[in-house]
Chains A and B, each alone.
Chain A
């Protein structure tokens, strides 16, 4: 089962203002997000083939309709422990020529933040977190931290 949101990039010119929309997801109860036009699709739990000797952040590879996608555990990448009952959902994004899947605990709604302004992440935040986040929105239901996807997928 997959919820296709938009072809990456192609929705930019449509009438809807995608620039203020973010896909939200939770990792370790933290509400995180990324711009909706960066998300290729969202998938439920997938069969992931492990890649021995790869870095711990890389969970393995999955087959998305014949396309090979590198699955990256967002928990590991953010320095969080793995879930015991791992039923991670996949947020698939395309960076450059390659597709990646960010494994998250749970995917939430697409949140429209129009009218609100993004604030910088607090300086007190752990430097590692600061390096992979762009900013924060204050929502009624809590803080919404926006990730810097390219940096997250850049740990060679």
Chain B
């Protein structure tokens, strides 16, 4: 069963349990407004979630009951025993439906129209405005709106329900068994027995499955599980420490207990990890439907086979791979599998197969997406790669298949000849790669023309405890996650001669492959180690993988691998970009966990930033020529910059250039213009020329000047970056007027001239979002969606507790709140936010299932910045992204 559905069930049962007693109490005390409001909210939440999950039958009953309760709440309908009976009847039906849903994973299609009709009648009776409630403005349009919305839902969802084949029903019943069995291993046999008839007869299952999800599992706050995880982490560290102490002394009387402790700790660690584990099938269960729909749209016969759905991995990892997986399956169905005719012509079976497979392998989870389709044409990818300047034409015959296919993961790369509604827009595979790398995974692609394509994803089981290689550089220990390490190479003193240099850059020929080398201590600006013993005479190289690139880190010593607990990098160290975490080693020392991707970028590897800039430039100039400004620097070297980036050309007399600290500036248009000269390997600074020619660049009202030796020419040329550069300030080399000329990266100089001008790293983590919703289900849903996007999210279940939080800590950028909340509703909350000095700047977003125009107007009056209907994650995220960009801009200007 879908985990979302499961949570919905658990939450609904919890609420409904409370509801029975509340309603009985209401019958005794019909005037208790708070009680009515609370009952209304429970039903309202169930209705809202039903709409979201497409449970039309359940939604209809809840909707009608909500209408009646709403009228009661507004004092337009008397709380009579008759009305209460009707509401109780509705609640019973809701329970029945939930039971059916729980037993089969499908909403029962029982007919409730008589009841809903009666409820609606009762509600409509009340619509005639009684004299006692003159403040009620216009309830009629509200009802109309909601009914409309409801019919919409019904229309949309009728189809999938009716097309559900009996086979699918059986399948979902099976998968439910798995879920329950996983949750409570001790009673494994019992629920399986109880639920087995579900496949045979829905009715029987409903009656026999007395043990519901709510009984078999307990709901534990994620925070509790997280803190347990932290404690286990501490225990693992202490265990490591003890093991280290005991290592030298095997005769010790502590040896036996320590061994035992070791074993128990390992078991405990596994047990606690298991509480966070979920079967990967949870991320897959939308795929059969997706493939079915796609095969209809594309007119192909596609079968989806899934194996290893029970393979478990950490919840956070699971959430992160959901979208990439969907994307890749979609790709396989759209690009991979051919139409039936084509397949027949090629001698294959008419229907194509997409095979999803997951399994564990050495602490990692491997997911394979395999199709038996047309495969990827090496030639086509190569052609495209050459036209984009990613591969040189002359190199083309020698490039390995895996290198060619890796191009598919580059941004802006799609070989689909036709942009279909499904894919082929050149976005996607790069996002897939980025997403997977973000959680420390890797992705490979292999393809055989005519036979099919296989994508292999390797991801860590969990992000909390990882196996890491401990090493030393500059007399300090560091850790590198084992996942990124390809191999270790040790060169003896005489072998070190094999390390060669190209233009100051060290490289090593590792089995006929050129491996760029980087001294870790240089990257970290640490002293070189002084070789004390023979050990240090050798050169230790850790070969690491970043995307499809490999490079070697030269370190002074390699210790052991150790299970380490990843702790977040502190606030003050976050912006360094070379560390992905910290940890405590067995001996109690704190060490930094290195981010190999960050190191690679730092030493001029194909940093994502410059690469995307290069690609943007190439993409936009595919056909058109653009004007290039050529200028000379020291030693008669010519460099170029796209003219469109240049604001002005100026000449300043040398004496007008002043030194401000160690920076050169010139007074220019009542302002100070910072001046920089061209730098980078081989160029040095410009020689003093009088008057000094300066190229002025402007961005966001700020300017900087680049001092050059002479302005040479402006020519129109197709700008294709032939070679990306790893030198700072150089975008790459382009052929301009038959000469190879370096094109400078203006961004680099602009950033350098005013370092805090804008933050280079777009760190959404610093953007804090507060979510207020009384439904735990929605809190989790929204939190997961936003955290996957990289935002920092804090959730509260009521406005009161949100206010308490904000009074202590107002460092939030955006607040997302439900409107219908107990004690203090969303409108009051928003007004409060907008009245406080510390919070009035925050972006306040209403996220609600009440979507009537009256509510919208009311929200606008209360000061909401946005009004969103529950729940479209894309809409919410794009709304936040916008406000994130705005806040970025603001801080950028203020800096």
B474 / chain A contacts, CB cutoff of 8 Å:
52
**Complexed CA–CA distance, A70 and B238 (Å):** 21
Q: Are B525 and A96 in contact (CB under 8 A)?
A: no
In-complex Cβ contact of B570 among A66, A70, A155 (8 A): A70
In-complex Cβ contact of A53 among B238, B525, B567, B588 (8 A): B525
Q: Are A51 and B592 in contact (CB under 8 A)?
A: yes
Whether B590 is near chain A, meaning CB under 8 Å from some CB there, is yes
Would A96 and B809 be within 8 Å (CB), given that A58-B573, A61-B570, A153-B572 are in contact? yes
- How far in angstroms is the closest Cβ of chain B from A38? 14
Which secondary structure characterizes the binding site on chain B?
A: mixed
**Complexed CA–CA distance, A63 and B525 (Å):** 24
Whether A107 is near chain B, meaning CB under 8 Å from some CB there, is no
Q: Could you tell me which residues of chain B, from 515 to 564, have a CB within 8 Å of some CB in chain A?
A: 524-526
Whether A74 is near chain B, meaning CB under 8 Å from some CB there, is no
Would A52 and B525 be within 8 Å (CB), given that A61-B590, A70-B573, A156-B571 are in contact? yes
How many of chain B's residues touch chain A, expressed as a range?
Answer: 20 to 34
- How far in angstroms is the closest Cβ of chain A from B479? 12
In-complex Cβ contact of B572 among A47, A49, A54, A62 (8 A): A54
Q: Are B524 and A49 in contact (CB under 8 A)?
A: no
- How far in angstroms is the closest Cβ of chain A from B811? 8
Whether A26 is near chain B, meaning CB under 8 Å from some CB there, is no
Whether B846 is near chain A, meaning CB under 8 Å from some CB there, is no
Would A66 and B237 be within 8 Å (CB), given that A53-B576, A55-B572 are in contact? yes
Q: Are A49 and B578 in contact (CB under 8 A)?
A: no
Would A68 and B590 be within 8 Å (CB), given that A52-B524, A53-B525, A156-B571 are in contact? yes
Q: Are B589 and A98 in contact (CB under 8 A)?
A: no
Considering the complex, give the chain A residue whose CB is closest to the CB of B576. Answer: A53
Q: Could you tell me which residues of chain B, from 453 to 500, have a CB within 8 Å of some CB in chain A?
A: 474, 476-477
Whether B434 is near chain A, meaning CB under 8 Å from some CB there, is no
Q: Are A156 and B572 in contact (CB under 8 A)?
A: yes
Considering the complex, give the chain A residue whose CB is closest to the CB of B238. Answer: A66
Would A63 and B589 be within 8 Å (CB), given that A52-B524, A53-B524, A53-B576 are in contact? yes
B477 / chain A contacts, CB cutoff of 8 Å:
49
In-complex Cβ contact of A47 among B238, B571, B589, B592 (8 A): B589
Whether B148 is near chain A, meaning CB under 8 Å from some CB there, is no
Whether B584 is near chain A, meaning CB under 8 Å from some CB there, is yes
Q: Could you tell me which residues of chain A, from 129 to 156, have a CB within 8 Å of some CB in chain B?
A: 153, 155-156
Q: Are A49 and B476 in contact (CB under 8 A)?
A: yes
Considering the complex, give the chain A residue whose CB is closest to the CB of B520. Answer: A52
Considering the complex, give the chain A residue whose CB is closest to the CB of B230. Answer: A66
B628-671 toward A: CB 8 Å interface, digit per residue (1/0)? 00000000000000000000000000000000000000000000
Q: Are B567 and A68 in contact (CB under 8 A)?
A: yes
B571 / chain A contacts, CB cutoff of 8 Å:
70, 96, 98, 156
**Complexed CA–CA distance, A68 and B569 (Å):** 9
Q: Are B590 and A49 in contact (CB under 8 A)?
A: yes
In-complex Cβ contact of B526 among A52, A54, A55, A98 (8 A): A52
Considering the complex, give the chain A residue whose CB is closest to the CB of B592. Answer: A51
A155 / chain B contacts, CB cutoff of 8 Å:
572
Whether B388 is near chain A, meaning CB under 8 Å from some CB there, is no
Binding site for B on A (CB under 8 A): 47, 49-55, 58, 60-63, 66, 68, 70, 72, 96, 98, 153, 155-156
Contact sample, A vs B, 24 pairs, CB 8 Å cutoff: A49-B592, A50-B476, A51-B573, A51-B592, A52-B524, A52-B592, A53-B524, A58-B572, A60-B590, A63-B584, A63-B588, A63-B589, A63-B590, A66-B238, A66-B584, A68-B570, A70-B571, A70-B573, A96-B809, A98-B570, A155-B572, A156-B571, A156-B572, A156-B575
Binding site for A on B (CB under 8 A): 234, 237-238, 474, 476-477, 524-526, 567, 570-576, 578-579, 582, 584, 588-592, 809
Given contact pairs A53-B524, A61-B590, A96-B809, enumerate 20 new A-B contacts (beta carbons under 8 Å): A49-B476, A49-B477, A49-B592, A50-B476, A51-B576, A51-B579, A51-B592, A52-B476, A52-B524, A52-B525, A52-B526, A54-B573, A54-B576, A61-B582, A62-B590, A63-B584, A63-B588, A68-B584, A156-B571, A156-B574
A-B pairs with lowest CB-CB distance, top 10? A52-B524, A49-B590, A61-B590, A70-B570, A66-B234, A63-B590, A53-B576, A63-B584, A68-B582, A54-B573
